[in-house]
Amino acid sequence: MPEGPEIRRAADNIHRAIAGNIACDVFFAFDHLKPFEAELVGSTVVAVKPYGKAMVTYFDSGWAVYSHNQLYGKWVTCKPNATTLTGRQLRFAVHTPRRWALLYSASEIEVLTAEAVPSHPYIVKLGPDTLDVNLTPDRVAERTLSQPFHRRQFATLLLDQSFLGGIGNYLRTEILYVAGIHPSQRPIDCSAVQIAAFAKAALALPQQSYRHSGITNDLALAAQLKQTGYRRREYRHWAFGRLGQPCHRCGDTITKITIGGRRCYVCPSCQPVNR
């Protein structure tokens, strides 16, 4: 599933492609949304904004289209009539004279008024966005140790969008690895040093991933590994997806555990269960 950095990059691309342009055609695949096609044609796209793992396309007519990529959704932008063959199903499209924005495979699409966006059931529950440059590690640390969250395992806490918005499975693994925290630990179990490391990593890694196309590993190390012939999936992350490979820090073997119903990758030496 695309996580916060991927959704924000997609929103940036779509905004650049169609914002400020008139929608000369709009398509919805779902019958209950078909009546809105005529409502949106002729209106101008004013903004495309990310909300955690969701995205909202705003029109000057006062309507907004909420979409969530879920596991398989994918946005594509192209010149008019320049679409490529794909096995995916088109679910939502905005055609402007300049560019087209096409959403494939996603099933969670809604049309609502712009005023209703903040109270959407997904958006209203979102915690602070880890890509918000005004969010500080001190605020993250304070939130982590607060009553609603301090007794929950990090493994499940980090996938709860009401805690911090935009974090998914790969960021969960990477943040905990960099902080030296085992996924089964709870904030209340951690030292002040660990909480400070977690709060710093919870912001630094998503923001680095956004700026550097998904790379969460040390940038210098990633560049070195790339130059020596490593494939992207081998140099992109510190631990995620690296089962059986040596830890970049200590050389121990990366293991995989299933916790919170999802896979998580761990270095047994850098992230001992009881520290």
Q: Is 5 a catalytic residue?
A: no
What's the mean pLDDT in 171-185? Answer: 97
Residues of the chain above pLDDT 90, percent: 91
Residue 144 shares a structural domain with residue 257: yes
pLDDT of residue 273: 86
Q: Is 79 a catalytic residue?
A: no
- The whole-angstrom separation of Cα 193 and Cα 186 is 14
What is the three-class DSSP state of 209?
Answer: helix
Query: Is 271 part of a structural domain of the chain?
Result: no
Tokens encoding 266: 């761990």
Domain count, the chain: 2
Q: How confident is the model at residue 71 (pLDDT cuts 50, 70, 90)?
A: confident
pLDDT at 275 over 70: no
Q: Among residues 9, 53, 91, 143, which one is catalytic?
A: 53
Q: 115-167: per-residue pLDDT in tens?
A: 999 999 999 999 999 999 999 999 999 999 999 999 999 999 999 999 999 99
pLDDT of residue 90: 95
Q: What is the pTM of this model?
A: 0.92
Q: Is 231 a catalytic residue?
A: no
Residue 87 shares a structural domain with residue 178: no
pLDDT of residue 82: 87
CATH code for the domain of 239:
1.10.8.50
Query: Is 245 part of a structural domain of the chain?
Result: yes
Residue 118 shares a structural domain with residue 193: no
Q: Among residues 74, 256, 262, 263, which one is catalytic?
A: 262
Residue at which a domain ends, from 72, 100, 125: 125
Residue reference for tokens 């925290």: 181
Residues 167/206, Cβ–Cβ less than 8 Å = yes
CATH code for the domain of 77:
3.20.190.10
Mean pLDDT of all residues in the chain? 95
Query: Is 84 part of a structural domain of the chain?
Result: yes
- The whole-angstrom separation of Cα 127 and Cα 66 is 18
Residue at which a domain ends, from 102, 125, 148: 125
Query: Is 52 part of a structural domain of the chain?
Result: yes
Query: Is 144 part of a structural domain of the chain?
Result: yes
Query: Is 76 part of a structural domain of the chain?
Result: yes
pLDDT at 108 over 90: yes
Q: Among residues 2, 128, 187, 206, which one is catalytic?
A: 2
Residue reference for tokens 């977690």: 198
Q: 187-239: per-residue pLDDT in tens?
A: 999 999 999 999 999 999 999 999 999 999 999 999 999 999 999 999 999 99
Residue 149 shares a structural domain with residue 105: no
Q: Is 3 a catalytic residue?
A: yes
The single-letter code of the amino acid at 205 is L
| Structural domain containing residue 22 | 4-125
Residue 201 shares a structural domain with residue 169: yes
Residue 141 shares a structural domain with residue 250: yes
pLDDT of residue 1: 67
